[in-house]
Amino acid sequence: NAGVTQTPKFQVLKTGQSMTLQCAQDMNHNSMYWYRQDPGMGLRLIYYSASEGTTDKGEVPNGYNVSRLNKREFSLRLESAAPSQTSVYFCASSFVDSPYEQYFGPGTRLTVT
Amino acid sequence: QQQVKQSPQSLIVQKGGISIINCAYENTAFDYFPWYQQFPGKGPALLIAIRPDVSEKKEGRFTISFNKSAKQFSLHIMDSQPGDSATYFCAASKGDGQNFVFGPGTRLSVLP
């Protein structure tokens, strides 16, 4: 089992460029999450998907879009990157009835210049 | 919007000592309180979790103490080891994953 995988590991973008962060899990989890981690801020939820076909905004959704492609995959898209989106992005997954037990991917370190 | 407060921001402990990290929450609807451990360059991993109807939970050297009336909970690491050096996040969960909040984290360094 690979668990939760994320690609790419590192990315540098110029302001205004777009990109998609990919996430996949092989644990048969229903729920998937995208977080951003900034120093002193902990992890903040960007978007959440309880199941295939559903997505909900989290605490900091502005500037992001998501797609729950199927049960395994959940992608995060930045349409027009801004320096404020420089962060480490984590994807996570869980069973829908145990949201406190989330399994995290290794993260994507994104720098926007 | 910080619904979970955590202190201290950083902590240095000698090997064999006790590490204590404290958290406080505001929303009494939270029904699960997990702690996550994160090593540099890795994603967080669930360490231990507690429900509000329990005052204490112990797993090995890690213990959560929970005070429902004060809306506080803490993580105690007994006999701290250099391998415990990591960032620790408390969190609170209510219902589904959309209502899952992390504290800002505590960076623990255990000196050999």
d(CA A109, CA A102): 20
- Asked if pLDDT for residue B52 goes beyond 90, the answer is no
pLDDT tens-digit profile of A5-36? 999 999 999 999 999 999 999 999 999 999 99
Instruction: For residue A43, give the 3-state DSSP assignment.
Output: strand
Q: Does B34 contact A at CB distance below 8 Å?
A: yes
CB-nearest to B97 from A41, A42, A94 is A94
Q: Does A10 contact B at CB distance below 8 Å?
A: no
Q: Does A64 contact B at CB distance below 8 Å?
A: no
User: Which among B7, B39, B26 has a CA at the least distance from the CA of B92?
Assistant: B26
Q: Does B21 contact A at CB distance below 8 Å?
A: no
**Strand duo B106-111 + B10-14: pairing:** parallel
Total beta-carbon pairs less than 8 A apart between chain A and chain B: 70
The model's confidence at residue B20, banded by pLDDT at 50, 70 and 90, is very high
CB-nearest to A104 from B34, B45, B49 is B45
Q: Does A101 contact B at CB distance below 8 Å?
A: yes
pLDDT tens-digit profile of B56-110? 999 999 999 999 999 999 999 999 999 999 999 999 988 776 778 999 999 999 9
CB-nearest to B34 from A41, A43, A100 is A100
d(CA B66, CA B58): 12
CB-nearest to A42 from B33, B49, B102 is B102
Nearest CA in chain B to A30: B97
The model's confidence at residue A42, banded by pLDDT at 50, 70 and 90, is confident
d(CA B81, CA A46): 34
